């Protein structure tokens, strides 16, 4: 009994650590590079490995920085009925105060501020910061496309649907690891904060269906086993949903996870493109100007970059 409880605890917390899972985040960042318009595409293509590998840095930061976690989500329930959305950070701070915002999450403003920092890095032609902030921006934009990052019932804990977070963003997303994504083109965002809030509400609007489908599939499979314990690469055992169940759930959602991934890809590219336009379309740093550590990364990957594992 105690042991079972321990696994539930481990499972519960392991769900809170990461969004999308490592692989989907990397996949999303990589594909965002592939749809950037010229000359951004030529520049980012050279650094595609960096942008891909560092897609998960913000999740790793959660281990060492307690201020990091709220940057990945927002509980939108407190915003329902407030007609002044999309709110900027200062307006929200006036209404709720810094402490409550920290508790409720701040992903929309994190995305917005990261875009501004990226714009500044473009203006300064600071290669290291351009790459670092682009990779991080990709992460936060992808996070706000995860519907369960926009609700206080983020893991189904309020509706007895524990584990739904991982089911949606890691197990279902995992089905699409080798999928040929076809996102729309990157666009210049006239009002970035408005776009960010729109994407977030689109995430939130999917929640009712996400919970209803989980219940429907779980009820239908009541007599059969839908989960089993599996040892992960880090040695920790966790409860996994069986593949058939995951596929059934995905079908019930009408492939919305895949669509959300494609929208993440398009919107990351749009955010990067917009930051560059707002910076005045400056020339992009040349290879010769690379700081040592970035030069090293590129040297390692010179051959692989040009081929890319591109579906386009
Ligand atoms: Zn995250």
Q: State the average pLDDT over residues 208-237.
A: 78
Nearest to 31 by CA among 306, 286, 277, 263: 263
Decide if 116 is inside a domain.
Answer: yes
pLDDT for residue 278: 98
Decide if 193 is inside a domain.
Answer: yes
Buried b (16+ CB within 10 A) or exposed e, 148-168: bbbbebbbbeeeebbbbbbbb
pLDDT for residue 193: 94
Decide if 312 is inside a domain.
Answer: no
| Confidence label for 10 from pLDDT (cuts 50, 70 and 90) | very low
Decide if 150 is inside a domain.
Answer: yes
Ligand 1 centroid distance, CA of 18 (Å): 5
Percent of the chain whose pLDDT exceeds 90: 55
Ligand 1 centroid distance, CA of 303 (Å): 30
pLDDT for residue 231: 65
Residues whose CB is less than 8 angstroms from the CB of residue 263 and which lie 6 or more positions away in sequence, other chains included = 145, 183, 199, 202
Ligand 1 centroid distance, CA of 9 (Å): 20
Residues whose CB is less than 8 angstroms from the CB of residue 268 and which lie 6 or more positions away in sequence, other chains included = 28, 29, 32, 137, 138, 141, 142
pLDDT over threshold 90, residue 139: yes
Decide if 252 is inside a domain.
Answer: yes
Instruction: Pull the structure tokens for residue 204.
Output: 């939130």
Output the average pLDDT for the chain.
Answer: 83
Decide if 106 is inside a domain.
Answer: yes
pLDDT over threshold 80, residue 80: no
Lowest-pLDDT choice from 90-94, 229-233, 261-265: 229-233
Tell me the pTM: 0.82
Ligand 1 centroid distance, CA of 72 (Å): 5
Decide if 78 is inside a domain.
Answer: no
Ligand 1 centroid distance, CA of 59 (Å): 5
CATH of the domain at 68: 1.10.575.10
Ligand 1 centroid distance, CA of 1 (Å): 32
Residue 188 domain boundaries = 2-73+83-307
Ligand 1 centroid distance, CA of 138 (Å): 10
The domain total for the chain is 1
| Confidence label for 274 from pLDDT (cuts 50, 70 and 90) | very high
């Amino acid at each position: 009994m105690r042991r079972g409880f321990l696994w539930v605890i481990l499972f519960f917390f392991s769900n809170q650590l990461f969004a999308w899972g490592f692989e989907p985040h990397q996949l999303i960042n990589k594909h965002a590079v592939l749809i950037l318009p010229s000359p951004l595409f030529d520049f980012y293509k050279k650094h595609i490995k960096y942008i891909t590998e560092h897609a998960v840095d913000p999740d790793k930061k959660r281990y060492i920085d307690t201020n990091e976690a709220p940057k990945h989500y927002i509980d939108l329930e407190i915003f329902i009925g407030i007609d002044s959305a999309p709110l900027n950070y200062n307006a929200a701070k006036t209404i709720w105060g810094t402490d409550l915002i920290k508790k409720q999450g701040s992903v929309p403003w994190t995305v917005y501020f990261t875009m501004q920092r990226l714009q500044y890095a473009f203006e300064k032609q600071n290669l290291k910061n351009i790459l670092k902030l682009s990779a991080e921006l990709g992460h936060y934009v992808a996070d706000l496309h995860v519907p369960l990052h926009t609700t206080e019932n983020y893991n189904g804990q309020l509706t007895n649907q524990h584990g739904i977070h991982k089911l949606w963003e890691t197990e279902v997303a995992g089905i699409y690891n080798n999928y040929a994504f076809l996102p729309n083109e990157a666009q210049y965002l006239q009002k970035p904060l408005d776009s960010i809030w729109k994407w977030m509400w689109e995430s939130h609007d999917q929640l009712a269906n996400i919970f209803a489908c989980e219940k429907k599939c779980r009820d239908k499979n009541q007599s059969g086993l839908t989960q089993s314990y599996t040892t992960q690469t880090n040695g920790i055992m966790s409860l996994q949903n069986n593949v058939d169940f995951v596929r059934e759930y995905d079908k019930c959602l009408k492939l919305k996870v895949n669509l959300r991934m494609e929208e993440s890809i398009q919107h990351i590219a749009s955010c990067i493109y917009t930051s560059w336009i707002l910076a005045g379309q400056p020339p992009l740093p040349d290879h010769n100007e690379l700081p040592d550590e970035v030069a090293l990364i590129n040297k390692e990957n010179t051959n692989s970059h040009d081929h890319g594992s591109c579906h386009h």
